[in-house]
């Protein structure tokens, strides 16, 4: 018999959301403003813009550890550790209100229409049970809610994608890179960012500090603690921080009944709910489903398909930094993305692989980053008198073309529970099994070769290539696949678990394929679609009694 | 532990003379940060590495030929070398005088001119994007 205490004596809320990141924030706001009682349990805390290190002299040093996006480096109590010794990548995330949008680059990209039909078009991966057209209205609503800055008319998207705010300048880095793309005749476009180019809602205007990925000190980046939680709370949503869920509970009919969690004092408590929404990211949600196994679901909750935790996709990143012979103000934000390219996004099997990559230009930051470009040089070319030459020729004179690579869903790339590693509450930590496939390696190599050509066309005097960034990005996808067939998927097209009708999953874990664009726009659009479905169908929603 | 003993600071300054030597225009670390203010800030920012730094500096202090020892560390124990270099370069390039000399304003508030993006969308660089012939793949 559980000894968990109810959070209050008799309270059963309409909706329990687990995780206060982007998708949890969207669902909380939508459900609360439609009159549903909402409780959200978040393992982390609120962050204040003033805490972020970007405008501090120590920014580069602080970003190495205290504000690293990698939980195993940050070692905060509010995060859980990841067992990564069986993984080619070290996934990024942060616990807290706003979740990983606190530290994301806010590169706000939609999937392309072809991403929803990969199997039909290319014979690999899967089709989604919904189309671009199905999701477009929700993309539009989210774009308006968070204030996306950009330029209408990108030819690689269907008409109708209209960023609500004017674009940021692409700056010297973007113009230099664009010049090379024009010479080659390759696609580029001023990149959309979830960073306000003018004051809107709770967001201030971007001041181009250029440190978006360590938190925006200005409050201009659309992190969901700013864009959605204040509204959700005004409409009555309760957000309980430093509360870590250890199990989703079920009733005798197998429906979700709530959750057991540890509060800030480590006391185990219980929250009852009519509907449970998992918004804990593509690793945290799989972890919770596996932790929530019970007698009638011994392999994990909602796991009759056996797919919970499998098909993990992480979008491996590589980059080539070009050094140029003119000042580029390479420290100026937003960062963020200046321009993007989808030239090599679509599958072309003549290249020897399937899938593609999205490219983006970013500024390169301060002097430590400039020096790091020469890490592979010998001592005498990097240190001693040479260090001043390296700074003079590199600092402020470089730009980075990064690639975000599509990876295919594979059952062997998976999240499981570690046998020994635990978080600060003693809950088993996730173990990441992730190997980059030969297809993805070819894809990355091809794209990085083209990126070097783009730099040379733009006039780079030197390029420095990183074939793989092991600690990028924080795109955590695929571990609770969306689909129509309960035998081959975990949730339906509305995000409701096939096995547990009142359990919704709204984070990146439901994505059947990864595409190659930054996923938060898609994650939040599908979360909003689920929330609107729950609101519209509440009368018929099966619930725990 | 987030501070260094004075003896360790002295060794760090000696190492800095090897890694980032003074030139006609650039100061030595010991001269640019005489009170150790910026070194203290670096130690607070990377408090997790200070014990490793102190150990490394004490080993280096016992060597007869410091430049040769630093060079050996770079070749033989890159992880330890990187700890030392993180503090030397991290401190040096935090110092306002040094930043001014290298032309780095720091990550600070520099809002764009209100018409900057509009101007960019009116020139021949953007015309190249508008002239792109392909479109999205219908699905």
Checking if the pLDDT of B43 tops 90, the result is yes
A306 and chain B in contact, CB less than 8 A? no
**Do A26 and A224 meet the contact criterion of CB atoms below 8 Å apart?**
yes
Nearest beta carbon to residue B120 from set A169, A189, A332: A169
Q: Which two tokens stand for residue A19?
A: 């995780």
A219 and chain B in contact, CB less than 8 A? no
Pairs from A380-389 (Cβ < 8 Å, separation ≥ 24): A383/B18, A383/B19, A383/B20, A383/B74, A383/B85, A384/B18, A384/B19, A384/B21, A385/B21, A385/B23, A387/B19, A387/B20, A387/B89, A388/B20, A388/B23, A388/B26
Instruction: Provide the pLDDT for residue A2.
Output: 47
Instruction: Provide the pLDDT for residue A7.
Output: 55
pLDDT tens track, chain A, 545 positions = 445 565 554 589 999 999 999 999 999 999 999 999 999 999 999 999 999 999 999 999 999 999 999 999 999 999 999 999 999 999 999 999 999 999 999 999 999 999 999 999 999 999 999 999 999 999 999 999 999 999 999 999 999 999 999 999 999 999 999 999 999 999 999 999 999 999 999 999 999 999 999 999 999 999 999 999 999 999 999 999 999 999 999 999 999 999 999 999 999 999 999 999 999 999 999 999 999 999 999 999 999 999 999 999 999 999 999 999 999 999 999 999 999 999 999 999 999 999 999 999 999 999 999 999 999 999 999 999 999 999 999 999 999 999 999 999 999 999 999 999 999 999 999 999 999 999 999 999 999 999 999 999 999 999 999 999 998 889 999 999 999 999 999 999 999 999 999 999 999 999 999 999 999 999 999 999 999 999 999 988 888 86
Substitution target from B26, B45, B70, B108 for chain A, most A beta carbons within 10 A:
B45
A120 and chain B in contact, CB less than 8 A? yes
What is the percent of chain B with per-residue pLDDT over 70, rounded to a whole number? 99
Q: Which two tokens stand for residue A234?
A: 């005004």
- Average pLDDT score over residue span B122-128: 95
Instruction: Provide the pLDDT for residue B3.
Output: 87
- Chain A residues whose CB is inside 8 A of the B136 CB are 112-114, 155-158
ipTM of predicted complex? 0.97
**Do A299 and A445 meet the contact criterion of CB atoms below 8 Å apart?**
no
CA–CA min distance B35, chain A (Å) = 17
Instruction: Provide the pLDDT for residue B1.
Output: 62
Nearest beta carbon to residue B111 from set A190, A207, A331: A207
Nearest beta carbon to residue A113 from set B108, B125, B139: B139
- How many angstroms separate the Cα of A84 from the Cα of each of A435, A470, A471, A497? 11, 11, 11, 28
C-alpha span between A345 and A110 (Å, rounded): 13
């Amino acid at each position: 018999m559980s000894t968990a205490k109810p959070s209050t004596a008799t309270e059963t809320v309409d909706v329990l959301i687990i995780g206060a990141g982007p998708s949890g924030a969207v669902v909380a706001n939508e459900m609360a403003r439609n009159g549903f009682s909402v409780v959200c349990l978040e393992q982390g805390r609120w962050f204040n813009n003033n805490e972020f290190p970007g405008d501090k002299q120590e920014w580069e040093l602080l970003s190495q550890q205290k504000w690293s996006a990698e939980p195993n480096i940050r070692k905060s109590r509010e995060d859980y550790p990841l067992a990564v010794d069986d993984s080619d990548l070290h996934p990024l995330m942060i616990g807290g209100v706003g979740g990983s949008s606190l530290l994301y680059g806010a590169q706000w990209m939609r999937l392309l229409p072809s991403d929803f039909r990969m199997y039909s078009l290319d014979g690999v991966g899967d089709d989604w049970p919904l189309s671009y057209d199905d999701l477009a209205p929700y993309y539009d609503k989210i774009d308006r809610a968070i204030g996306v800055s950009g330029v209408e008319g990108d030819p690689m998207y269907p008409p109708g994608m209209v960023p609500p705010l004017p674009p940021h300048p692409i700056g010297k880095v973007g113009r230099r890179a664009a010049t090379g793309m024009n010479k080659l005749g390759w696609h580029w476009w001023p990149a959309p960012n979830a960073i306000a180019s003018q004051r809107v809602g709770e967001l201030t205007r971007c001041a181009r500090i250029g440190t978006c990925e360590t938190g925006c000190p200005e409050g201009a980046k659309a992190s969901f603690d700013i864009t959605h939680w204040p509204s959700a709370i005004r409409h009555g949503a309760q957000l309980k921080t430093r509360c870590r869920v250890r199990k989703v509970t079920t009733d005798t009919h197998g429906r979700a009944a709530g959750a057991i969690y540890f509060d800030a004092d480590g006391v185990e408590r219980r929250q009852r709910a009519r509907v449970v929404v998992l918004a804990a990211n593509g690793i945290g949600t799989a972890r919770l489903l596996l932790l929530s196994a019970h007698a009638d679901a011994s392999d994990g909750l909602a796991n009759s398909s056996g797919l919970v935790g499998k098909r993990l996709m992480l979008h491996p990143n590589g980059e080539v930094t070009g050094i140029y012979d003119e000042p580029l103000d390479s420290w100026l934000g937003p960062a963020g993305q200046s321009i993007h390219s989808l030239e090599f996004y679509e599958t072309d099997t003549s290249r020897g692989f399937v899938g593609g990559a999205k490219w983006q230009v970013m500024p390169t930051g301060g002097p430590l980053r400039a020096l790091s470009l020469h890490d592979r040089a010998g001592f005498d070319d990097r240190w001693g008198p040479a260090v001043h030459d390296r700074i003079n020729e590199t600092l402020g004179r470089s730009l980075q073309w990064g690639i975000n690579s599509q990876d295919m869903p594979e059952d062997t790339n998976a999240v499981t529970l570690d046998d020994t590693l635990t978080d600060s509450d003693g809950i088993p930590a996730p173990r990441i099994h992730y190997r980059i496939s030969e297809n993805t390696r070819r894809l990355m190599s091809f794209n990085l070769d083209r990126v070097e050509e783009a730099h040379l066309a733009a006039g780079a005097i030197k390029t420095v290539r990183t074939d793989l960034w092991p600690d990028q990005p924080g795109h955590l996808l695929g571990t609770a696949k969306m689909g129509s067939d309960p035998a081959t998927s975990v949730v339906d097209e509305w995000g409701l678990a096939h096995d547990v009708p009142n359990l919704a999953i709204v984070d990146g874990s439901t994505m059947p394929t990864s595409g190659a664009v930054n996923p938060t726009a898609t994650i939040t659009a599908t979360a909003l679609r689920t929330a609107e479905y729950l609101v519209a169908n509440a009368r018929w929603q099966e619930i725990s009694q | 532990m987030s501070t260094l003993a004075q003896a360790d600071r002295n060794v760090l300054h000696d190492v800095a003379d090897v890694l980032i030597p003074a030139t006609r225009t650039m100061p030595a670390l010991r001269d640019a940060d005489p009170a150790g203010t910026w070194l203290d800030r670096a130690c607070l920012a990377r408090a997790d590495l200070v014990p490793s730094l102190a150990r490394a500096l004490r080993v280096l202090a016992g060597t007869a030929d410091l430049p040769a020892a630093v060079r050996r560390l770079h070749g033989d124990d890159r992880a330890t070398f990187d700890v030392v270099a993180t503090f030397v370069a991290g401190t040096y390039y935090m110092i306002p005088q040094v930043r001014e000399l290298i032309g780095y304003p720091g990550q600070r508030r520099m809002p764009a001119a209100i018409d900057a993006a509009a101007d960019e969308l009116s020139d021949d660089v953007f015309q190249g994007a508008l002239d792109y012939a392909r479109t999205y793949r219908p699905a």
